[in-house]
Structure 1
Amino acid sequence: MKVAEFQGIGTIRIEERPVPKPSPSEVIVRVMVCGICGTDQHIYHGKPGSASVVAPRVLGHELAGEISAVGEQVTSFAIGDRVTVDPNIYCGRCNHCRGGRMHLCDHLKAVGVTQDGGMAEYVTVPAANCFSLPAMLTFEQGAMMEPLGCCLHGIAQLDIKPGASAVVIGGGYIGLLMVQLLHLYGASPIVVSELDKSKHAIAVELGATCAYSPVDTDLMSVREEQASGGFDIVIECVGRAETMQTAIHMAGKGGQILLFGVADPSTDITVNPFEIFSKELQIKGSFINPHTHNAAIALVQQGKVDVTRTISHRFSLEELPDAMASYPSLRVTKGILHLT
C-alpha cells in the first residue's frame, strides 16, 4: 500500500509499506477520504498535536472508509462495512478516565498522531473507535465527523440560550461549523470576524447575521452596533494572541468566551484581570471530542449541519507532499484527501 509518511519537520514522502493486519480487537480500514486538519499542519511544522508525535508517522485523524479485515474478537463490524473513525484512544485507568473526563487521559493515544493514521490506503483502528456510516452519507461527510465532534464538545462548554448574541472570530472551516451550531442553538445575532472577504457570503449562508473583516472594520464599533455593551458568547477559532485578546474585549457583562483555536505552545496573551472581574467573564478551553461522534452523525444525517459546503481543496495522496509544503499560500478553507 501507499502511505504519506511524515519523516520530520517539513518532510512528507510517499512510501510503500505492507498492508497491516489487525490484532484481535482491531479492524483494517481501507481509507476513502481523509481530512487535512490544522493540527496536521502544526505537526508538519514541528508543533505538537493532541499528543506528542514521533517521526516517522502517517498523519491523518479525520477519516472514513470501508472495513477490509477484522480481528478475531471483533463482532460489531464485518468486511465491507462503511465507517467513520473517532481517532482518540483512552487508557480507561487514569483518574481522568475514571472521573468521566477521558479526553484528558494521562495516556492519550490517537490514530494519526501517536500511531499511523488515515493518510494511507489502509489503516489499523480499534474496532471500538469505528462508527457505522449511514448509507445516505458520503465518505467526505464521514471524514468530517471528527472536526464536527470537536466543535460539539466546544459548544457544550457554553450555556447558550435562544437570543444570545454571539461573535465567531475566524471564519475558516471550524469557525463556519461553529456558526451553524450557534444558529441551531438559537443565538442571534451571530457575527463573524474573518480576514478573507470571500468567506463572508458563505458565513451568512450558513447562519451568520453578518460578517466583517477586522482589517477594514473596527470590531469594537461592530460590538456596539450588533450587541450594545458586548456579546454574550464569543468563540475564538484562530489561535493567535491578538485574536484571543480581542475575544475578551468583545465580550459583554456576564459573557462567555471559548478559546477554541489551537495556539502555538509558546504563545502568551495579555489579559486585564479587572476586565474579567468587572464583567464577570467566563473563559473556557476545549480539547478534542469525547464521545461526540454519534451526535455529529445525527446532525449531518438530519441535514442540520453541512460539513462539506466549505471544503475548498481536494488532493490525491501523491499531491499531498507538495500541498502540505505550500498549504498557507493555497488559501485552504478545508482540504481533504481522496484515496480512491
Structure 2
Amino acid sequence: MKRSEKYMRCEMKAAVFTGKHQLEIREMPCVEPKEDEVLIRVRFCGVCGTDVHIYEGDKGSAEVDGETILGHELSGEVVRTGKSVTRIRTGDRVAADPNDYCGTCYYCTNGMKHLCNRMVGLGTAADGGFAQYLTVPERLVYKIPDSVSYEQAAMIEPISCCLHGIDLTDIRPGNTVMVVGAGNIGMIMIQLAKSAGAARVIAVDPVEVRLARAKEYGAEIVINPTKDDTEEVLGKNNVECVDRVIDCAGRVSTAEYAVRYAGKGAVVMLFGLTGPDDVAGIKPFELFKKELTVKASFVNPDTFARSIFLLEKGIVDVDKIITDIVPLEDIGMVFDTKLYSKNGKVLINCE
C-alpha cells in the first residue's frame, strides 16, 4: 500500500483494489499526515467511470500499479493537520481536487499543468477516497460552504471536469447545444450549457428515463437515436444549425454521431472516454466541408473553486443525479452488479 511508515493511533476500513474484479474491505492503521498534509475523515466518495475502467481491467486515462485504494470524488471533514498547514483547520468541511502536479515539467511551466508528465492522482497513483480516512496535501483541499451537503460536495470533482470541457467548447449566448449521452455527466453538461448562454439544449440518449430527466434539467429537445430520426426531429423543431456538440458517452458510435450532426462552423467536444485502441470512422472531408473544430478535454485545471460556487448558488443541481448511496462495506456489490449503470450517480458512504 502507498502509506507512510508513521501512523496515527486509529484504525480505518478501506476498499482495496487488488486486481481485476477484486476489491477487499480491509482494516488498517490511519495514515499520519505529513507536514503539508491534512487528514480527512471521508464522508462520501463517488463512483466514477475511471474507477469502473480500473476495476474491469480496461486500459485508459488512469492505471494503477499494485494494490490501491480507488476513489477520487470525495468530501469529508478535516480531523488533523500537518505542522506547516496554515489555510485549513481541524473541523473544516472540505472536498479534495485529486490531481497533483509536479510544477516543473514543460507542461506545468507552460500553462498546461493538467497535462503534467508526472501528475499524481488520488485513487490511481496514490490511495484514494474509498476509505474512512485519507491524507491529502493542503494545496489540493478546498473548504465547502455550510449550505453544500457532503453528498453534494462529492460531486464537485465531476462538475469541475465538466466545467473544463464547457470552457473548451466555447458556448456563445444563443447557441444550440447538443449533449450526446444523458447520464450523470450529461446532466451536469446540460446545466452548464444553459448557464453559459445556450438558447436550446438537445439531449440524445437511447434510455427514455434519462431523456425524461434531461428535460427536468433544462433540455428543450430530446432524441432517442434508436427510435427517432434525428434529422426529422431537428427539422420539426426548426434547428437550422447545431452550434456545439458534446459527446459524453465516449463511444465510437457517439463520436461519429457528434460529427455527423454538428452544424457548419460547429465545435465538437469529445468529452467521454473511449478505449485507447478505439478508432472512429470520421471523414476528414466532412470536417473540412463543415469547417468543424474537434476538441477533447482532460481532467480539471483550475475549475474546482468555480464548481463549488456553482453548487453553492444552485446553478448546478446534483440532487436528482445522486440516486444511490451505498455503505463502504457493500462497495463490491456496486461493481459486481453494475449498479452505477442502472440509475444515476452512486455515492459510497464511508462513515
User: Matches of 2:152 and 2:222 in 1, distance apart?
Assistant: 26
Correspondence 1:91 to 2:91: no
Q: What is the CA deviation profile of residues 186-208 of structure 1, one whole-angstrom value per residue up to 9, with x for unaligned ones?
A: 21221101111112222111111
User: Matches of 1:316 and 1:226 in 2, distance apart?
Assistant: 45
Q: Is the 8 A contact 1:66 1:80 kept in 2?
A: yes
SS of residue paired to 1:313: strand
Q: What is the CA deviation profile of residues 131-155 of structure 1, one whole-angstrom value per residue up to 9, with x for unaligned ones?
A: 0011111001111100000000000
SS of residue paired to 2:263: strand
Q: What is the CA RMSD across the aligned residues, in angstroms? A: 1.3
SS of residue paired to 1:68: strand
SS of residue paired to 2:29: coil
User: Matches of 1:54 and 1:88 in 2, distance apart?
Assistant: 17
User: Matches of 2:340 and 2:84 in 1, distance apart?
Assistant: 46
User: Matches of 2:268 and 2:235 in 1, distance apart?
Assistant: 17
Among 312, 315, 319, the residue aligned to 2:326: 315
Q: Is the 8 A contact 2:113 2:301 kept in 1?
A: yes
Q: Quickly say closer, same or farther: Cα 1:202–1:238, change in 2 above 3 A.
A: same
Q: Is the 8 A contact 1:51 1:109 kept in 2?
A: no
Counterpart for residue 137 of structure 1: 148
Mean CA deviation greater in 75-84 or 167-176: 75-84
Q: What is the CA deviation profile of residues 297-336 of structure 1, one whole-angstrom value per residue up to 9, with x for unaligned ones?
A: 1111111110222112111001101211111686132110
Q: What is the CA deviation profile of residues 5-24 of structure 1, one whole-angstrom value per residue up to 9, with x for unaligned ones?
A: 11101111111111111111
Q: State the one-letter code of the partner of 1:304.
A: I
Correspondence 1:128 to 2:139: yes
Q: Is the 8 A contact 2:47 2:340 kept in 1?
A: no
Q: State the one-letter code of the partner of 1:204.
A: K
Q: Quickly say closer, same or farther: Cα 1:227–1:18, change in 2 above 3 A.
A: farther
Q: Is the 8 A contact 2:60 2:276 kept in 1?
A: no
User: Matches of 1:165 and 1:53 in 2, distance apart?
Assistant: 39
Correspondence 1:69 to 2:107: no
Shift, 1:222, TM fit: 2.6
Q: State the one-letter code of the partner of 2:74.
A: L
User: Matches of 1:5 and 1:227 in 2, distance apart?
Assistant: 52
User: Matches of 1:173 and 1:85 in 2, distance apart?
Assistant: 20
SS of residue paired to 1:312: strand
Q: What is the CA deviation profile of residues 106-149 of structure 1, one whole-angstrom value per residue up to 9, with x for unaligned ones?
A: 10111111110000000111111000011111001111100000
Q: Which segments of structure 1 move beyond 4 Å, counting only runs of 4 or more?
A: none
Counterpart for residue 6 of structure 1: 17
Among 187, 199, 223, the residue aligned to 2:234: 223
Shift, 1:45, TM fit: 0.7
Q: What is the CA deviation profile of residues 220-267 of structure 1, one whole-angstrom value per residue up to 9, with x for unaligned ones?
A: 323333464541010000111001100000101001100000111121
Among 257, 276, 285, the residue aligned to 1:274: 285
Shift, 1:55, TM fit: 2.6
SS of residue paired to 1:156: helix
SS of residue paired to 1:243: helix
Counterpart for residue 177 of structure 1: 188
Counterpart for residue 254 of structure 1: 265
SS of residue paired to 1:19: strand
| 1:280-299 matches, cutoff 5 A | 280-299=291-310
Q: Is the 8 A contact 2:54 2:62 kept in 1?
A: no
Q: Quickly say closer, same or farther: Cα 1:128–1:50, change in 2 above 3 A.
A: farther
Q: What is the CA deviation profile of residues 159-199 of structure 1, one whole-angstrom value per residue up to 9, with x for unaligned ones?
A: 21111111100000000100001111221221101111112
Which consecutive residues of structure 1, in runs of 5 or more, have no partner in the other structure?
none
Q: Is the 8 A contact 1:50 1:113 kept in 2?
A: no
User: Matches of 2:238 and 2:57 in 1, distance apart?
Assistant: 40
Correspondence 1:102 to 2:119: no
Counterpart for residue 178 of structure 2: 167
Q: Quickly say closer, same or farther: Cα 1:266–1:332, change in 2 above 3 A.
A: farther
SS of residue paired to 1:235: strand
User: Matches of 1:5 and 1:136 in 2, distance apart?
Assistant: 32
Among 225, 248, 273, the residue aligned to 1:214: 225
SS of residue paired to 1:297: helix
Which consecutive residues of structure 2, in runs of 5 or more, have no partner in the other structure?
1-11
- Provide the aligned length of Structure 1 versus Structure 2: 340
SS of residue paired to 2:84: coil
Mean CA deviation greater in 207-216 or 247-256: 207-216
Counterpart for residue 212 of structure 2: 201
Q: State the one-letter code of the partner of 2:151.
A: E
Q: Quickly say closer, same or farther: Cα 1:275–1:134, change in 2 above 3 A.
A: same
Counterpart for residue 119 of structure 1: 130
% identical aligned pairs: 40
Counterpart for residue 16 of structure 1: 27
Q: State the one-letter code of the partner of 2:45.
A: C
TM-score by length of 2: 0.94
Q: Is the 8 A contact 1:234 1:257 kept in 2?
A: yes
Q: Is the 8 A contact 1:223 1:231 kept in 2?
A: no
User: Matches of 1:223 and 1:262 in 2, distance apart?
Assistant: 26
